[in-house]
Amino acid sequence: MGRKILLITTDQQRYDTLGCNGGELARTPVVDSLAAQGIRYERAHPQSVVCMPSRSTILTGQHPSTHGVYMNGVPLPLDAPSVAELLRRSGYRTALIGKPHFQPFLDPFLRFAENSLGDETTPSGGAHRGFEHLEFATHGPVGPLHYARWLAANHPEVIGMFYRVLDDQLQVNADGGGATGAPQVHDNPVPREWYHTDWVAERTISWLDSLAVDDDWFCWMSFPDPHHPWDPPQSELGRIDWRDVPLPAGYPEKAADRERILDAKPRHWRMWYDGALVSNYEAPANWVPATMTADQVREVNARNAIECELIDEAVGRVLRRIRDRGWDDDVDIVFTTDHGELQGDFGLLFKGPYHVDALMRLPLIWRPAPSASMPASTVTAPVGLVDLAPTFCGIAGLPAADWMQGQPLPIDDVDAQQRGFERVLTEWDSELFGVGVHLRTINRAGWTLTRYLPGTVHDGTEGELYDLVADPLQQDNRWDDAGCAGIRDDLLADLSDSAPPVRRPKLQLEAPV
Amino acid sequence: MTAVRASIRRDVRIRGSADDIWAYVGNAARLAEWWPGITSCTVDGDTRTITMGSGLAVPEKILLVDDIDRRFQYRITGPLFREHTSTIDVHDLGDGTCLVVYSIDAEPSTMALVIGGAGGNALAHLRDLIEGGS
């Protein structure tokens, strides 16, 4: 019997939403406890700041340039490498429960495997991407996935209670709600036990209950929250009064301050803020960030924190069942997310081609199996989600596959230094309706540098450079600062030297998301 | 702001004769044979109704079937679209291959991408059908 693996992911969760990372809004005692027992990473970055590329990196252990899913709407090929398949072939029972998103959701043809399972939880052929058990959910109550089908079959009366994720144009909905009219905020009367957070936990528990005690298993429990819409069960809204929520440090309250900061960044930042350009599908096309009020920022943060609390409690229920089964000493638990959320920083919400900590600095906690006797620690060296797949291989006693581009996560900073964890890369490529935006980012030694490749908005000379020690909020772009030319040029050379191989031929964009 | 209307193009180069390819493309009733995700297709005069894998039935008006230029053009008339025209062209390149192009102009833009993306996938499937000889 070997070590079992529970991978817990959330969707679009910021680093600072956890108590163990200094967050003061959401109470997250369960995940905080995992961090106290295990390894907490202070500089974990995704390799893309949107769902499909980032999740594909978790599964394949490859950068987006290499696995080829360069933006949402580009499906990961069914024959792409999968760490779940490696584990399954070595005897692990495997499951993916919750949000997958390796293929597009907008699929009226049901031509993608993720959308065409019907009520089946066992894929034809025995496994799908290495997972022998599948139960899928996403942010809404309608569609072909298991959670929506379960609601339709058992609680159809609640389907209309949720926020409508897309509008009549099938764009991300800009409609506001709650007390402040903030976009994607909604009062949802759904009973808590029928909300997708609890459903994901209950389905995970059900699958764990189906296993033999001596099975080795890898379970990816994938919560759709705290990604918008911010429509947690109404019964939970009393947890945090939005009026008591302090404004985030990254939100300059004066419009003039916001505009000054944005104007020092490449032009698409200010263009989006003013409503002149929405370069990507992930933000509502009909919402202008400059119209957002301070109270709306407060209410979004309150709802988001409530969703984080519900996740924490759901994780706690799953961990109790693991203890009840007698497995806890042999279970490695990894908690992370696919990317962050702007959540008011710079006067913005949602996500897009904006490589700052709001979107790139992720919660990442690894609680090694207690039987492995690894001491608790904090790692400050940069790591990436690309390192998860080889970490899982290491836990299972397998060598990392040669197609993986990361390496097993370091257990402390000494280990990180010895094994060369110096930099982490993030990339963005979007080409949507005639607008092309391309970013390459490196984080190293307390600096974040982003180079803009030529596109329809940028000419290739633009960039961003932030000193994260002196400027943790990334409000002072040093790209054109002559005093920083040395570090800028050094990081640019490193970025070029470290670029991952590019998949050819390029995969096609097949849907908006 | 994001475009409300979109124009999207997908293409594929197929090793085969233009007549063989046109036998699929130019016959409105054969669409379900080469477009994955369309489960059925019925034609009544210039009206075609397709049924998608989700069960959604979509009515279409056939605008043009040009056997000489090998151009097929249709319009989705269902409520999801404010505007839509799709065109499929088969170009004989004269070297034993053809370039098949699927073009869609539509509002809303998101639906243009949903249909256009599926159209690109359908072209790849058509290539497999022709080159596989089935």
Residues in B 9-28 with any Cβ partner in A closer than 8 A: 10
Strand pairing category for B38-44 and B6-15: unpaired
Question: If you measure CA to CA, which chain A residue comes closest to B1?
Answer: A277
Cβ proximity of B90 and B102 under 8 Å: no
Residues of chain B positioned with their CB less than 8 A from the CB of A107: 37, 54, 114
What are the tens digits of pLDDT across the range A88-133?
A: 999 999 999 999 999 999 999 999 999 999 899 999 899 999 999 9
| Cα–Cα dist B52/B37, whole Å | 6
Residue A508 burial (C-beta neighbours within 10 Å; 0-12, 13-18, 19+): middle
CB contact under 8 A, B108 and A111: no
Q: How many CB pairs under 8 A join A and B?
A: 77
Rounded to whole angstroms, the Cα distance separating B84 from A382 reads 48
Q: Residue A1's pLDDT is what?
A: 76
CB contact under 8 A, A73 and B113: yes
Q: How far is A97 from chain B (nearest CA, A)?
A: 22
Q: Is the peptide bond before A77 cis (omega within 30 degrees of 0)?
A: no
Contact between residue A417 and residue A381 where contact means Cβ atoms under 8 Å apart: yes
- Mean predicted confidence (pLDDT) in A214-218: 98
Whether pLDDT at B134 is above 60: no
> How far apart are alpha carbons A190 and A232 in whole angstroms?
8
Q: Are A113 and A128 in contact (CB under 8 A)?
A: yes
| Separation between Cα atoms, residue A99 and residue A49, nearest integer Å | 16
**What six digits make up the tokens of A369?**
């199996």
**Which chain B residues have a beta carbon less than 8 Å from that of A111?**
36-37, 53, 118, 121
Which residue among A108, A109, A285 sits closest to B2, beta carbon to beta carbon? A285
Read off the pLDDT band of A214 (50, 70, 90). Answer: very high
Note whether A140 and A255 are within 8 A (CB): no
Q: Do A109 and B3 touch (CB under 8 A)?
A: no
Instruction: Read off the pLDDT of residues B96-121 as tens digits, 9 standing for 90 and up.
Output: 999 999 999 999 999 999 999 999 99
Which residues of chain B have a CB within 8 Å of the CB of A148?
none
Which secondary-structure segment (H or E) carries B102? strand B97-107
Decide if A408 touches B, using CB distance below 8 A.
Answer: no
pLDDT at A359: 98
Centre a 10 Å sphere on the Cβ of residue A6 and count the other Cβ atoms it contains.
22
Tokens, residue A251: 């939100």
3-state SS, residue A452 = strand
| A511 with B108: Cβ contact below 8 A | no
Separation between Cα atoms, residue A267 and residue A264, nearest integer Å? 8
Burial A161-180 (b: 16+ CB within 10 A, else e): bbbbbbbebbbbbebbbbbb
Cα nearest neighbour of B121 on chain A = A510
Helix, coil or strand: residue A322:
helix
Mean pLDDT of chain A: 97
With CB atoms and an 8 Å threshold, state whether B54 touches A109.
Answer: yes
Closest-CA residue in chain B for A274?
B1
Quickly list DSSP for A199-260.
Answer: HHHHHHHHHHHTS-TT--EEEEEEEEEESSPB--BGGGGGGS-GGGPPPPTT--SSHHHHHH
Supply the pLDDT for residue A168: 87
pLDDT band at B3 (very low <50, low <70, confident <90, very high): low
DSSP class of B31:
H
Q: Does the beta-carbon distance from B3 to A286 stay under 8 Å?
A: no
The stretch A266-291 carries a mean pLDDT of: 95
Give yes or no for a contact between A429 and A458, defined as CB atoms under 8 angstroms apart. no
Spell out which residues of chain A touch residue B120, defining contact as CB-CB under 8 Å.
508, 510
What are the backbone dihedrals phi and psi of residue A403, each rounded to the nearest 5 degrees, phi first? -85, -5
Indicate whether B70 pLDDT > 90.
Answer: yes
Tens digit of each residue's pLDDT (9 = 90 or more) over A468-478: 999 999 999 99
Q: Nearest Cβ partner of B110 from A107, A275, A512?
A: A512
Smallest CA-to-CA distance from A135 within A111, A107, A175, A99 is with A99
Please provide the average confidence, as pLDDT, over all residues in chain B. Answer: 95
**For testing the chain B interface, which of A106, A111, A169 should be mutated: the one with the most B CBs within 10 Å?**
A111
Q: Is B4 on the interface with A (CB under 8 A)?
A: yes
CA dihedral of B36, B42, B47, B50, whole degrees rounded to 10? -30
Among B10, B118, B120, select the one facing A109 at the smallest CB separation: B118
pLDDT digits (tens, 9 = 90+) for B83-97: 999 999 999 999 999
Percent of chain B at pLDDT > 70 equals 96
270-329 of A, contacting B, C-beta below 8 A: 275-278, 281, 285-286
- Tell me if residue B124 falls in helix, strand or coil: helix
pLDDT band of residue B80 (cuts 50, 70, 90) is confident
Residue ranges in chain B assigned as alpha helix (H): 18-25, 31-34, 109-132
- Strand-pairing partners, residue A364, are A41
Closest partner residue to B117 (CB to CB) among A277, A278, A511 is A511
A169 chain-B contacts, CB cut-off 8 A = 4, 108-110
- Please provide residue A394's backbone torsions phi and psi, each rounded to the nearest 5 degrees: -60, -40
Residue whose tokens read 């054969």: B30
Contact between chains at B114 and A511 (C-beta distance less than 8 A): yes
Cα angle value A222/A223/A227 (rounded, 5°):
125
The pLDDT score that the predictor gives to residue A110 is 96
Mean pLDDT of A354-383: 98
Please state, in angstroms and rounded to a whole number, the distance separating the CA atoms of residues A464 and A478. 7
CATH class of the domain whose range is A4-160+189-252+293-424: alpha beta
**Which chain B residues are within 8 Å of A170, Cβ to Cβ?**
108, 110-111, 114
* Over residues B20-34, mean pLDDT: 98
Chain B residues within 8 A of A352 when measuring between CB atoms: none
- Under the banding of pLDDT at 50, 70 and 90, the label for residue A438 is very high
Residue from the list A73, A144, A281 with its beta carbon closest to the beta carbon of B54: A144
* DSSP track, A139-195: SSS-SSSHHHHHHHHH-GGGGGGS--SB-TTSSBP--EETTTTEETB--B---GGGS
Mean pLDDT value of segment A138-166: 96
pLDDT digits (tens, 9 = 90+) for A48-77: 999 999 999 999 999 999 999 999 999 999
Helix, strand, or coil (residue A494): helix
Q: What percent of chain B has pLDDT over 90?
A: 93
CB contact under 8 Å between A106 and B110, yes or no, is yes
Q: Which domains are seen in chain B, by residue range? A: 6-28+62-132 (3.30.530.20)
d(CA B63, nearest CA chain A) in Å: 23
Map residue B39 onto helix, strand or coil.
strand
Q: Residue ranges per domain, chain A? A: 4-160+189-252+293-424
Cβ-based contacts of B117 with chain A (< 8 Å) = 73, 104, 508-511
**CA A262, CA A477: separation in Å to the nearest integer?**
9
Which pLDDT value is given to residue B78? 86
Chain B interface disruption, residue of A74, A173, A433, most B CBs within 10 A = A433
Tally: H helices and E strands in chain A: 13, 15
Residues in B touching A281 (Cβ below 8 Å): 2, 110
- Kindly give, in sequence order, each residue whose CB lies less than 8 Å from that of residue A157, ignoring residues fewer than 6 positions away: none
Q: Are the Cβ atoms of A170 and B117 closer than 8 angstroms?
A: no
Output A2 or A425, whichever has higher pLDDT: A425
Average confidence (pLDDT) over B14-38: 98
Q: Tokens 């764009």: give the residue.
A: A171
pLDDT digits (tens, 9 = 90+) for A162-194: 999 999 888 999 999 999 999 999 999 999 999
Q: Please choose, from the candidates A73, A18, A67, the residue with its C-alpha nearest in 3D space to the C-alpha of residue A47.
A: A67
Instruction: Write down the number of H helices and E strands in chain B.
Output: 3, 7
Q: Which residues contact A224 (CB under 8 A, 6 or more apart)?
A: A11, A98, A99, A137, A138, A139, A196, A197, A200
Distance from CA of B55 to the nearest CA of A (A): 8
The answer to whether residue B68 neighbours chain A at the CB level (below 8 Å) is: no
Residue B2 confidence (pLDDT) above 70: no
Q: Do B53 and A434 touch (CB under 8 A)?
A: no
Residues A239-259: tens digit of each pLDDT: 999 999 999 999 999 999 999
DSSP string, A261-307: HHHTS-HHHHHHHTTS---STTS-TT--GGG--HHHHHHHHHHHHHH
